[in-house]
Structure 1
Amino acid sequence: MRDGRLVAGERLPSGRALAAELGVSRTVVTEAYEQLYAEGWIEGRHGSGTYVTDVVPAPETNDPIQEQIPYSGRIAPPGTIDLRPGTAFADALDTPAWRRAWRLAATAQASERSDPHGLPGLRAELAAYLRRGRGVACAPGQIVVTRGATNALALAAAALLKPGQRAGVEEPGYGKARAALAARGLEVVPCRVDDHGLVVADLPDDLALVYTTPAHQFPLGGVLPVPRRQALVAWARRTGALIAEDDYDGEFRFDVGPLPALHGLDPDVVLYLGTTAKMLTARMGLGWLVARPDLAAAVARHRDRVNDRTSALAEEALRVLLERGDLERHVRRVRAEYARRRAVVTEELRGLDVRGSTAGLHLVVALPAGQARRVRDEAAARGVLVDVLDRYRTEPADGGGLVIGYGAAASADELRTGCSLVRALARPEPPPGRRPAGARGAGARGPRGAADAAAARPASPDR
């Protein structure tokens, strides 16, 4: 009926006849007819039988979207080694503390009317944690609990900015931040970065907001130095703009202690965005925004107006982890784990131009853009997933590279296997007729029995 194969007014067989034809009980057919009656697909005519109603068949379409495989995001296929950035090492969770927090959260009294700022107890614990760990001095009333840093940015854009205003995002930068701002009707402006992060001197004066990742620029990995931080705050003061600081993995630095957040330089102009996605797991679905009181209140009002909610159970579990000190113990433990993983990755990638490895959960291998795409594709064919810098750009640019994360891999052995393959594929090819020193017997390992490194194709030219 929906497809038009049974047209309006067509008579249907009796229940007895259809049951005999299909080889099922008459009860099954009777229940099916009753359901179709209830939904309005068929009608009974006294003394005549059952007929198709005047339904309108679905229009024919050649929309290719219907033929596509359902969208699955960036889920790694089974049997692959995932070296893409953006994922924490979830197996590092302290299982007893994690289970205890959720068990206690499940027994806590909950209100059906949630505070749009978030649970007061969680905000009090967050304020204390952020002061100790990130140098963010704030009162609980300045915190709005969100569903993550990207959600916090989207809420701030909707509550504090107007459609048509211009918002800057680092280039290359975090694509979901661009999407969140564009979805609120803002004009997204690419803002240049270099090896040290955002180039403040190039910022236009007509931006209403600039989104930045000063602790570990995503994806290049630079750390914004103090003079630029001061210049950025001065620019915001002069132009009246807001700074959205995404501190997505600021807890993890390996050469010195974690640097204080930019927010501490001027809390009036900086919106501080945080998340549990890297320190715990993205599955918790929590983040926070810290802003001066009037801005935080505006974001909370908007959140209440659009019924944007976080899980009260997850909020209470995070509160328990903070209150008992379990979160900070976990961060210290995984910081050491990520330092070990970073050491494995940098060792396996020796000889390549590795950048941005002093902090965070990913680094960059600088390569010509065409060669980077070739390495990505050949590595994927052998079961190792990496990203290329082009994925995080909106405009063509000189230079390219691979973005390699070390949070998603299941073990150090997986990291060694994947990175050794990447190194073999990325090594410059020797001139024809010559073999590089040490090439005899050297092979690239891969999860699917990767071929010898010498079998890698020459790099394709840049486009």
Structure 2
Amino acid sequence: MDLVIEIEPGGGEKTAAVYRALRAAIVDGRVPAGYRLPATRVLAADLGVSRGSVAGAYERLVAEGYLTARVGAGTFVAEAAPARRRAAGPAPDPLRPRPGWSLTPLPTSGEGPAPRYDFRTGIPDARLFPFDTWRRLVGAELRLRANNPGTYAEPSGHPALRAAVARYLGYARSVRATAGDVVVTNGTQHALDLIGRVLLRPGDVVAVEEPGYPPARRLFTSLGARVVGVPVDEQGLVVSALPAHCRLVYVTPSHQFPLGRVMSLARRQELLGWARKRQAAIVEDDYDSEFRFSARPLEPLCTLDRSGRVLYVGTFSKSMLPSLRTGFVLVPPGLRPAIVAARQAGDGYGQVAVQAALARFIDDGQLARHVRKAGRSYLDRHIRIVREIGRISALDVIPSAAGLHVTALLERGDPARIVMLARRSGLEIENLADYAAEGPPSRPGLVFGYGAVDPDLIEEGLARLPALIEDSQRRDGQAQQRRPAVEPEQRDHRHEREPGDHP
């Protein structure tokens, strides 16, 4: 890569000007140690000075220890060049984001080693994925496209992938769709962002499940929406609790996240009727329904919908790998041009070779084969985890027939302390309260993912839980005993506070 430096304009001795520019670049760290400088003839032509001026600057920098000259190899920045000068003070930093933009680290991120007993949610088992087949397909597409002229792709996604997704949804989820209904995205979050940018104005009300999927809530909040949590019962989202002026409802009806319940058919019909009456949109997130362990699932909302108000969002992050960053959304006709325009305005289009390879992966039957194989493994883990949790008297498993996690309600003990003690012992589980944004859930609980855990360590890891639960109870009881008693006159005085006063 060419070296770009600026020499002082105007008159003056050119050798000194080149020397000062090179020295500043080295001291500031813009030119790293070991960097090979251009030949004197090349740099002289770039700077518009004589070759002698550059050679003189090089010689002076070599003498001062900034550069080293190697016969037959060139001139390099010295490994032991004098230290960079310290900045005079902090750099100006006047720009600030508008409220709502704060980074929330993901529980699945990090470069450190995974916990020994890894029950985190949202992580499929990469050991089950057919990497050799996938590499072959991607490699073939890269070779094919290397011979094509460099052109931009369609923002709605590779045509072959859109057609493959439509066919796959037809036989796997009984969804009637064509390639024209499908917009390919970089996963679920990207789909939600496109929908929100097209549908929502600042201040619009968005309803989400409570407890629910935190990234969806954060995304809609970042777009300026007023996000309201709506409770979930045994039949799914409580439609009667929806805000009257709601513009959009986000739901996970096939496998509610994180409770794991399935929305009943009656509740699905009620939600669709409500959306039709209120002229609201419904985002149906079908994030992991490929892995189902019981009878035939209920029809998706988008299949039951007769008024064109459902946007069906899916992802390959669970059925394949999160790192592929590929998902899709089925868009009603009236929104399709706007969603595609939003995709074009944002990142243009996705990775064409990956999308074409995924189309082949689906059409060749590789995805269905992988889902069947992985599903058998996840079913075995599901059975073993439910069985082991069922032996713990303090936990009550919520029935679940799909996905990669189960939730258990806690009869006693402090879930936050249990999670903390578990982490110290190499056991990674999650607190149900972390998914509730509007106060603690009515009953505390723990969430167990089983995509990442080593199947051979399931029983060993969960066997640690009873002692951790008891330990959390003991510590909670000790903390209560240490709290100072409240004198009677203090209690009387406290009852005299006006409503709204802070204690």
- Encode CA deviations 1:78-106: one digit per residue, 9 max, x unaligned: 25122011111111112343233223322
Mapped to 1, the partners of 2:348 and 2:466 lie a distance apart of 45
Distance in 1 of aligned mates of 2:169 and 2:106: 34
* TM-score of the pair, normalised by structure 1: 0.78
Q: Please point out which of 470, 474, 493 is paired with 1:458.
A: 474
The match for 2:312 among 269, 272, 281 is: 272
1:316 aligned onto 2:332:
no
Give the Cα–Cα distance (whole angstroms) in 2 for the partners of residues 148 and 240 of structure 1: 27
Distance 2:291 2:231 in 1: 24
> Which residue of 2 is the match for residue 443 of structure 1?
none
User: How far apart are the structure 2 equivalents of 1:177 and 1:295?
Assistant: 20
1:262 aligned onto 2:301: yes
The 10-residue stretch of structure 1 (387-396 or 227-236) with the greater mean CA deviation from structure 2: 387-396
Q: Cα–Cα, structure 1 residues 347 and 174, in superposed 2: closer, same or farther, change >3 Å?
A: same
Q: C-alpha deviations, 1:6-33, integer Å up to 9, x for none? A: 9xxxxxxx999987786x75559x9769
Give the whole-Å Cα distance in 1 for the aligned partners of 2:300 and 2:400: 19
- Distance in 2 between residues matched to 1:396 and 1:369, nearest whole Å: 19
The range that moved more, 168-177 or 356-365, is 356-365
Matched to 1:244, the amino acid is: V
Once the two structures are superposed, the pairs formed by residues 31-430 of structure 1 within 5 Å of their partners are: 57-59=89-91, 74-75=108-109, 77-78=112-113, 80=115, 81-109=117-145, 112-266=151-305, 268-351=308-391, 352-367=395-410, 371-397=414-440, 398-409=442-453, 411-426=454-469, 429=470
SS at match of 2:328: strand
Q: Distance in 2 between matches of 1:456 and 1:128?
A: 51
Structure (1 or 2) with the larger CA radius of gyration = 2
Q: Give 1:58 shift.
A: 2.4
Whole-Å separation in 1 of the counterparts to 2:62 and 2:387: 70
Offset, 1:71: 6.3
Identity of aligned residues (%): 35
The answer for the alignment partner of 1:48 in structure 2 is none
Q: Output one character per residue of 1:145-194: Cα deviation in whole Å (capped at 9) or x when no partner.
A: 00001110110110122222111111111111011111211111111112
**CA drift at 1:293:** 1.7
* C-alpha distance after superposition, 1:311-354 (max 9, x if no partner): 11221121011110111111112111110010111122123311
Distance 1:331 1:258, change over 3 A: farther
Q: Which runs of 5+ in 2 are unaligned?
A: 1-22, 29-56, 94-103, 481-503
Q: Which amino acid aligns with 1:360?
A: G
Between the aligned partners of 1:60 and 1:149, the Cα distance in structure 2 is 37
Q: 1:127 to 1:25 in 2, by over 3 A?
A: closer
1:160 touches 1:298 (CA, 8 Å); kept in 2? no
Range moving further from structure 2, 256-265 or 206-215: 256-265
Distance 1:265 1:402 in 2: 33
Q: Within 1, Cα distance between the matches of 2:298 and 2:425?
A: 38
Decide whether aligned partners of structure 1 residues 244 and 369 sit closer, same or farther in structure 2, where only a CA change above 3 A counts. Answer: farther
SS of 1:248's equivalent in the other structure is coil
Superposed CA offset, 1:25-79 (max 9, x none) = 5559x9769xx9xxxx99xxxxxxxxx9xx9642599xxxxxxxx9686336425
CA distance in 2, matches of 1:208, 1:395: 20
CA distance in 2, matches of 1:195, 1:101: 43
Q: CA separation in 2, counterparts of 1:71 and 1:216?
A: 24
User: Which sections of structure 1, spanning at least 5 residues, go unmatched?
Assistant: 7-13, 43-51, 62-69, 430-454
Distance 1:17-1:108 versus aligned 2 partners, 3 A rule: closer
Task: Work out whether residues 349 and 423 of structure 1, in 8 Å CA contact, stay in contact via their aligned partners in 2.
Answer: no
**In structure 1, how many angstroms separate the alpha carbons of the residues matched to 2:176 and 2:114?**
45
Is contact 1:16-1:26 (8 Å) kept?
no
Tell me: CA distance 1:125–1:425, structure 2 relative to 1, closer, same or farther (3 Å).
same
How far apart are the structure 2 equivalents of 1:457 and 1:234? Answer: 46
The answer as to whether partners of 1:251 and 1:258 remain within 8 angstroms in 2 is no
- Report the TM-score when normalising by structure 2: 0.72
Letter in 2 for 1:271: L
In structure 2, C-alpha distance between the alignment counterparts of 1:394 and 1:71, rounded to whole Å: 16
Matched-pair contact (CA < 8 Å) for 1:174–1:392: yes
Identify if the C-alpha distance between structure 1 residues 57 and 422 changes in structure 2 by more than 3 Å, giving closer, same or farther: same
| Residue aligned with 2:464, SS | helix
Q: What CA RMSD, in Å, does the superposition of the two structures yield over aligned residues? A: 3.2
State which drifts further: 297-306 or 223-232: 297-306
**Secondary structure class of the residue paired with 2:244:** coil
1:396, CA displacement in angstroms? 1.5
Distance 1:147 1:25, change over 3 A: closer
Q: Is residue 83–residue 418 contact of structure 1 (8 Å, CA) maintained in 2? A: no
Whether the 8 Å CA contact 1:134–1:259 is kept in 2: the answer is no
2:249 aligned counterpart, secondary structure: strand
* Alpha-carbon distance in structure 2 between the residues aligned to 1:85 and 1:200: 27
**Which secondary structure does the structure 1 equivalent of 2:335 belong to?**
helix
Return the offset for 1:202: 1.0
Q: Secondary structure at the match of 1:214?
A: coil
